[in-house]
Amino acid sequence: MKAPMRMKDKIILRVVSKALLPPILLFALYVQFHGDFGPGGGFQAGVIFAAGLVLFGLIFGLDALKQVFPVVWVEVGVSLGVLLYAGVGVVSMLCGYDFLDYDALHVPGPMHGQHLGIFLVELGVGITVTCAMTAIFYFFAGRRAS
Amino acid sequence: MIIEIALFAFLLVIAVAVARLEDLFAAAMLTGIFSLVSAGLFTLMDAVDVAFTEAAVGAGLSSVLFLSALGLTDRRERQQRPTRILPFVVVVLTGLALVYGTLDMPAYGDPTAPVHNDLTQTFLHGAEAMHIPNVVTVVLASYRGYDTLGETTVVFTAAVGVMMLLGRRREPDPVEEEPS
C-alpha cells in the first residue's frame, strides 16, 4: 500500500498485530478442522486465515506479505481448492458411486466415509477461499492511486 | 426481546448514517459495524454459522477491502446533487413491498413452518447416522455438496477475474511511474 506514514514504525500496531497473528491463524485452523463439530467450516476458516494475512500485510507492507505468502501460492491455491473438491467427486465416481457421494470414501475403520469426504471438501473450500481473499487484497492494495 | 429491538434500532441508525455520511472512511467503518450488529442478531436467532460468516466477511475482510479501495480514491464523496424525490419514492415502495411479503411468512420458531418438513428430519437423522454434530456442515458439504462446489467455483472465478483485471505479473517489477 502507498503509505505516507509507515504503520510498521508504530510500535503499538506492530506489537499488537504480532501478538494477535498466531491466535488468528490458529483459530482459523481450529474453525477449519472443527467444522463438523461446531460452527464454522472451510469458508469461515478461509476468511479468517486470509484476515490474518491481510492484517500482516497492512502493518508490515505488501512486500513483506509476499515473502511470507508468495503470489504463486495464491494463484496455485485458488485452483487447487476447487480441484481438490471436484477431485473428491471424481474419485467417488471412479469408485462406482454418484458424483460427490462420500460413502465411496469408506475405509476400514471407525471413520465414516462421509467424515473423510466432508473433511477433504471443506479443506478444498478453505484453500480456495483463503487464496481468493488474499488475491483480492494483493491486487487491490498493489495498485497505486491514479 | 429487548436485545433484538435494540440491535434492530442500531441497524436502522447505522444504515441511515451510512447513507447520509459524506466521509467515505467513516461510511466504510460503519458498514463493518453494520455487519457486526447483524452477526449479533443472527447469533440471537441461533444461526451461529451464518453469524460467523457475517462477522468474518462483513465486519472483517470487506472493511479492509473497502479501505484499500479508498486508498486509491478520494476520502470524501463528491458533492451531491439536490435530493430527488423519485428515487426516494421507489426505495420506500420497494421496502414496503418487502415488508408486505414477510407478512405471509410463518412466525419465527413456528414448529409448523414449511421448513420443518420431512426433509429436515432426513437431514437430522442423516447427520446423526454420520456422527457429525453440526447439521449445517452436513447439509452444506454432503447433502448439498454439488451446490457448495458451485459456490467454491464462484469464489474461484471471482479471484481469477480480479487477477486478470488488476494483476500484472510477468512484467519485471515496473518502474515507479506508469501511465495513469
Q: In angstroms, rounded to a whole number, what is the distance separating the alpha carbons of residues A130 and A81?
A: 10
- Domain assignment present for residue A2? The answer is no
Q: Do A43 and B142 touch (CB under 8 A)?
A: no
Residue matched to cell numbers 469464489 = B155
B164 touches chain A (CB under 8 A): no
**What pLDDT, on a 0 to 100 scale, did the predictor assign at position B38?**
94
Mean pLDDT of all residues in chain B? 84
Q: Do B146 and A117 touch (CB under 8 A)?
A: no
With contact defined as beta carbons under 8 Å apart, do A136 and B163 qualify?
no
Taken in order of first residue, the domains within chain B and their CATH numbers are 1-78 (1.20.120.1200), 113-175 (no CATH)
Total count of domains within chain A = 1
CB < 8 Å from B in window 14-73 of A = 31, 35-41, 43-44, 47-48, 50-51, 54, 58, 71
Segment holding A60, helix H or strand E = helix A42-60
pLDDT digits (tens, 9 = 90+) for B136-154: 888 888 888 899 999 999 9
Q: Which residues, given as ranges, of chain A have pLDDT below 50?
A: 1-3
- Domain assignment present for residue A146? The answer is no
**What pLDDT, on a 0 to 100 scale, did the predictor assign at position A138?**
87
Q: Which amino acid is at A105?
A: L
| Backbone phi and psi for residue B112, each to the nearest 5 degrees, phi listed first | -95, 5
Here the cell at position A10 is 508504530
ipTM of the complex: 0.86
Quote the pTM value.
Answer: 0.83
3-state secondary structure of B45: coil
Q: In angstroms, rounded to a whole number, what is the distance separating the alpha carbons of residues B124 and B129?
A: 9
With contact defined as beta carbons under 8 Å apart, do A70 and A53 qualify?
no
**What pLDDT, on a 0 to 100 scale, did the predictor assign at position B152?**
93
Domain holding A92, by residue range, is 7-141
- Selected residue of B66, B156, B180 to mutate for chain A interface (largest A Cβ count, 10 A): B156
Q: Which residues, given as ranges, of chain B have pLDDT below 50?
A: 178-180
Q: Do A118 and B142 touch (CB under 8 A)?
A: yes
pLDDT digits (tens, 9 = 90+) for A74-113: 999 999 999 999 999 999 888 888 888 888 887 776 667 8
Q: Which residues of A touch B133 (CB under 8 A)?
A: 36-38
- Domain assignment present for residue A1? The answer is no
Closest CA to B63 of A50, A146, A6, A106: A50
- Rounded to a whole number of angstroms, the distance from the CA of A138 to the nearest CA of chain B is 9
Of the candidates B72, B130, B180, the beta carbon closest to that of A112 is on B130
